[in-house]
Structure 1
Amino acid sequence: MIDPKIRTFLMIVELRNYTQAGKVLAMSQPAVSHQMRQLEEEYNIKIFYPNRRPLMLTPEGEVLLKYARRAVSIANTARQALEDCKNSVKRFSVGITTTVSEYVISRVLADYCLEHPDVHINIVTDSIKNIYDKLQSYELDWAIIEGTVPKNSYHSVLLDTDYLCLVVSPQHPFAGRAQVSLDELKREKLILRSRAAGTRLLFDNYLYNHSDDIANYNIVIETDNITTIKELVAQNFGLSVMARSACRAELATGRLREVPMENFRIVREINLIYREDFSHTDILGEIRQLYAQNQ
C-alpha cells in the first residue's frame, strides 16, 4: 500500500543522511537521491533545504512527513486488522497520560481484557501532546486523558472528575495547618510535573487567570514520574500540587498530607477520546461502565 519512495523518505528523515539511509535500505546513494527527486516532481515541492547539514525539511517537507507517517501507520494498522480478522481478535492501541495511568484506568482495561479474551489492548503512556499527535496519525485508536478536550477535534466520553490539591510530608509545618495561601506557597520548594503535563497546565493556567505566574514560585524539580514526586514529597524535600487521585493511597496511609489552599479549586476531567471514524464505540461504552463500577 505504501510507495517505496515514501519509506525511503521516512528513513532519510530518521537518519538525516542520504548515504546512511541507502545503507539501511540496501540502496545506492544515487538511487536514494533519484527517489527523492521523483517525490519532489510528483508533488511539485522541495523536500529539503539545499546545502543544509544536517538535512533540514522545508515547510512543504514537514507537511509531507506528517502525512507520510500517517499513511504508514494506517497501512500497518490495516495489515494487523486483517490478520486479527482471520484470528477473530480485536486489537486496540490506547494512549494514556502519565497521571491517568497511575490511577484505576490500567486495571479497568486489564479487567476488560479478562472478560473479553478476543480483545487485546496495547497501552501507550505519553504526554498529552504526543497522544494527540498519535491519534491524528492513527498510531492510537483512542485515548484516556486528563483535562478538557479541544472542541471539534475529537469525540469524547467523560469518565470522571478529579481535582488538584497541595500535598506535603507529615513532617512539614504545613501538615497541621487548616489552610495555606498561595503567597505562603511561594516561599516553599515545589516539586511539579513537567510543563507539558495536563495537571501542570491546569495549575499554570489557574495562576495566570488569577494575575499570578508560575515564575513567581520556587520549582526545584520537574518530572513526569509521579512515583518520584510522591516519594520526594513524603521525604520532605518539597511540596507538590497534583491530582488527588494520583496520591489517594498515600493520603490514606498517612505518608502524605493534603492541605487546603485558600480560594483554590481546580477541577480536572478524565476523558475518553476518539476520532470520528472509530467504529467500535460499543467497546468504549463498556469501558465506561466498568470504570464506574470500580469507583
Structure 2
Amino acid sequence: MEAKGLAVVKNPEIEAVLEALDRELVGLAPVKRRIREIAAYLSVDRLRRELGLVSDRPTLHMAFVGPPGTGKTTVALRMATILHRLGYIRRDHLVVASRDDLVGQYIGHTAPKTKEVLKRAMGGVLFIDEAYSLYRAENERDYGQETLEILLQVMENQREDLVVILAGYKDRMEEFFALNPGMRSRIAHHIEFPPYSLEELYQIGLLMLERQGYRLSPEAERAFREYLERRMALPNFAYARSVRNALDRFKLRQAYRLYQKAGPVTPEELMTIEAEDIYLSSVFRERKEEEDAT
C-alpha cells in the first residue's frame, strides 16, 4: 500500500497540452487557471480510481461565456484533448454546432438533425456556440425546444460518452440558464472569458502574422495600433476574430500593391505589411477625408 502512495499526479501529456494553450493564446490568465484547475481535479480523480478509492465520475459539461473571438473554441479543442488523455472520453474529438445544425424548419425535422449531430459528437465533445439561440421564449412553437429536450436527456443519460460545452455572451447565457434550470443543473464548470485589451490584441496580431510569414514595418506597427483603437470602438467587434479578418485585408492590399509594382520584388517586400496597407481601411475614412481637405 505504501508503494501505491508514491503515484505521481502530474501527467506529462496533460502538461504538454496546457503549455501549448499558453503559447497559442495571449492573455486569458483566469481562463488558463481554471483549465489547469479542472485538469488537476481530473488527474487526481483518475488517480483515486486507479488506487481503488471511492470516486464517482465527475460531471464534465461546461459553459464558456464571453464575447466572440476570445478563444472559446480553441480552449474547447484543448479540453477535448485533456479529457481524452485522462480517459474521460473515447476520442480526442470536437464537433462544433450552432442552431442551424441542430434545429429543423418544419415538424419532424428537428429530432433527426439533433440526433445526427449528437451521433457525430458521441465519444468526444460537442461545442454549441450561441447556445441561447436554441431557446426562443417568445415563440411557443419554436422547434429549438425539441433540441433542448433531446440534449438534456443525452447530457444526463449518456454523460459518460459525451461532454457538452455551451458557449455565448455572458448576459444572454445567464438569461438562458434562468429560463432553463434543468440545463444549468447539468453544467459543472462555468468559465468566463474576459475581453482582450488593445495591447493583447496587438500581440495577437503580431503572433498571427509571424505564423504566416509576415511582419509589420515600424510605420505599420503604429498604424496597426491606431487601427485597433478605432475598430474596437465600432459595432460588431469580435476581438481576435476581427483581428484575423483585418490582417487578411491588410495582406490583400499588400498583394495588390506589389502586383502593381513594376519590376521584381524582394523577399523582404513579400513579407512586410506597410502602413499604407492598413490606412486604406474604412476605419480611417475620416482620417483620409481630413488629409484631402488640407
Q: TM-score scaled to structure 2, two decimals?
A: 0.27
More helix by share: 2
Greater share of residues in strand: 1
TM-score (norm 1): 0.26
